[in-house]
């Protein structure tokens, strides 16, 4: 796939008046009530091959949850608790101490017997056979900022488009009255802020739309959602006049990606007034369902996510909060317990709700952070863990994923990926494959070369796919 954010003039010039391309342009054109036509960059586009998933939900546990305390049991840590590990393979970011056993108990769940700690007991009890736990993920460095960028944007160093931006660039979105890509984070921005959902050199229409979901009022989740001075008809006339001027300026100046992004943002903002307030109004849901999700920030986020997915939004990222909530260098037992109490019930309700509505089969759900944590304690006390990018766990569910399995393994202490290692690039390549996209063909030409989410890396892991 190549650049599709073209004016009609550019499209005709580049295709030599080809009739097939004229037909495609007509399909992609959106017309305002005043008759102004514009190529809509968010119009639905066909995948490379039949897709198993239509939507993506990324449950981002920023800060780095401990895999050996959640989805990767390591009983040998009990034996060595408080003692040095008998290995010279530990390459930690900071000076660490003795082995630290998990303060949480693991059990087998479902027909598959998938082992999960009691931190996610309800999710495992209800959905173990839907989860594909990848226990051998690895990243590049043990630092938050580059690892966040790698997990979200496919590159740890340079500005690159985020996964959600690539997905909406490649596929568009099914609802033109809502953003194609939404990022929800309560309490403000996470670390490195909007870089996590940026469009970078892709057109601005593919940038994620941020919502501070700590706010309960649906009218306040999106700033200036209502025009307090003009009615819809008057506002439409005003916008049409502004768009005429903008397009006249664009035609006189040639390609201007920033101006085109501004034009599209005005149109989307206008269309959102008719639907955004409705999708975020959870009072429209039955009381028993709201109670199942829980009247908490996380519960509301996930219920809003389900409402967006059923309305055709392509990509939703749900953050665990501003800062680094899971970055528990000390007091890990209490902090991980508190965080899992916030997430476990709502995740279980969310997966159940999607499944009962027939949406889970077409929605790919990813849970995880930017890295894991060490099996040894961070000094001076035995109550916290340092960063660990050498091996950690994430899980996938829905959207064509083969559930009830633990794929790959870390070593016997849980430090490094050992069996069937999976790089973040491989995770991205496989997720794009489930969306019907060949990760090597989803490209965008910028600065003289073709870029893609997986850069020159990535392989599809077919063992995860039904």
Distance CA 138, CA 420 (A): 11
Burial-class residue 274 by CB neighbours within 10 Å (0-12, 13-18, 19+).
exposed
In this structure, the number of other CB atoms found within 10 A of the CB of residue 110 comes to 17
**Cβ-based neighbour number of residue 278 at 10 Å:** 13
> Would you say 169 and 206 are in contact if contact means Cβ atoms under 8 Å apart?
yes
Average pLDDT over residues 322-344: 96
Bridge partners, 396 (sequence order): 132, 366
- Among 105, 104, 97, residue whose Cα is nearest residue 80: 97
Q: What is the pLDDT of residues 213-222, one digit of tens each?
A: 876 666 666 6
The percent helix, strand, coil of the chain (3-state, each to 5) is 40, 20, 45
Token pair of 457 as six digits: 């890396």
Residue 92 has what DSSP assignment? -
Phi first, then psi: what are they for 307, rounded to 5°? -65, -35
Say what the pLDDT of residue 249 is. 72
pLDDT tens-place string over residues 367-397: 999 999 999 998 778 999 999 999 999 999 9
Q: What does each C-alpha distance from 408 to 139, 163, 416 come to in angstroms?
A: 15, 24, 11
* Residue 294 CB coordination number (10 Å): 16
- Of residues 411 and 204, more confidently modeled: 411
b/e per residue, 377-411, with b = 16+ CB within 10 A? bbeeebbbbbbbbbbbbbbbbbbbbebbbbbbbbb
Q: What is the pLDDT of residue 12?
A: 37
> pLDDT tens digits, residue range 79-94?
999 999 887 677 776 7
**Pair of tokens at residue 188:** 């403000």
Q: What is the pTM assigned to this prediction? A: 0.85
pLDDT in tens, 274-284: 667 788 889 99
């Amino acid at each position: 796939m190549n650049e599709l954010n073209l004016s009609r003039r550019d499209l005709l010039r580049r295709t030599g008046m080809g009739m097939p391309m004229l037909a495609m342009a007509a399909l992609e054109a959106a017309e305002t009530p005043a008759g102004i036509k514009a190529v809509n960059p968010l119009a639905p586009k066909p995948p490379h091959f039949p897709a198993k998933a239509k939507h993506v939900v990324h449950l981002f546990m920023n800060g780095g949850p401990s895999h050996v305390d959640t989805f990767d049991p390591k009983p040998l840590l009990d034996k060595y608790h408080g003692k040095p590990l008998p290995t010279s393979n530990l390459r930690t970011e900071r000076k660490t101490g003795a082995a630290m056993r998990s303060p949480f108990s693991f059990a087998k769940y479902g027909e598959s017997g998938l082992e999960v700690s009691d931190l996610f007991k309800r999710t495992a009890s209800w959905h173990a056979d839907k989860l594909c736990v990848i226990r051998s993920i690895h990243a590049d460095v043990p630092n938050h900022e580059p690892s966040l960028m790698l997990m979200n944007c496919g590159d740890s160093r340079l500005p690159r488009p985020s996964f959600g931006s690539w997905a909406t660039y490649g596929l568009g979105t099914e609802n033109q009255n809502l953003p194609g890509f939404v990022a929800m984070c309560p309490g403000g921005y996470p670390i490195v802020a909007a870089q996590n959902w940026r469009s970078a050199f892709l057109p601005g229409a593919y940038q994620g739309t941020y919502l501070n979901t700590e706010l309960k009022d649906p009218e306040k989740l999106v700033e200036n959602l209502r025009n307090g001075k003009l009615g819809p008809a008057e506002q439409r006339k005003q916008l049409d006049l502004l768009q005429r001027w903008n397009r006249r300026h664009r035609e006189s100046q040639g390609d201007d990606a920033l101006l085109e992004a501004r034009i599209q943002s005005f149109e989307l903002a206008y269309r959102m007034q008719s639907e955004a307030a409705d999708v975020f109004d959870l009072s429209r849901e039955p009381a028993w369902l709201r109670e199942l999700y829980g009247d908490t920030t996380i519960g509301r986020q996930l219920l809003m996510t389900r409402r967006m997915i059923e309305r055709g939004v392509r990509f939703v990222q749900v953050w665990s909060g501003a800062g680094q909530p899971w970055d528990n260098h000390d007091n890990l037992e209490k902090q991980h317990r508190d965080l899992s109490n916030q997430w476990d019930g709502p995740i279980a309700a969310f997966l159940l709700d999607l499944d009962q509505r027939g949406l889970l089969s077409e929605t790919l759900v990813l849970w995880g952070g930017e890295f894991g944590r060490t099996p040894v304690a961070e000094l001076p006390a035995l109550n916290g863990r340092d960063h660990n990018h050498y091996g950690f766990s994430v899980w996938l569910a829905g959207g064509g994923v083969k559930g009830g399995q633990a794929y790959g393994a870390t070593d016997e202490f849980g430090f490094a990926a050992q069996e069937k290692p999976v790089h973040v690039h491989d995770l991205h390549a496989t997720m794009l494959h489930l969306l019907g996209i060949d990760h090597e063909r989803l490209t965008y030409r910028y600065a003289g070369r073709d870029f893609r989410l997986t850069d020159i890396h990535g392989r599809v892991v077919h063992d995860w796919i039904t």
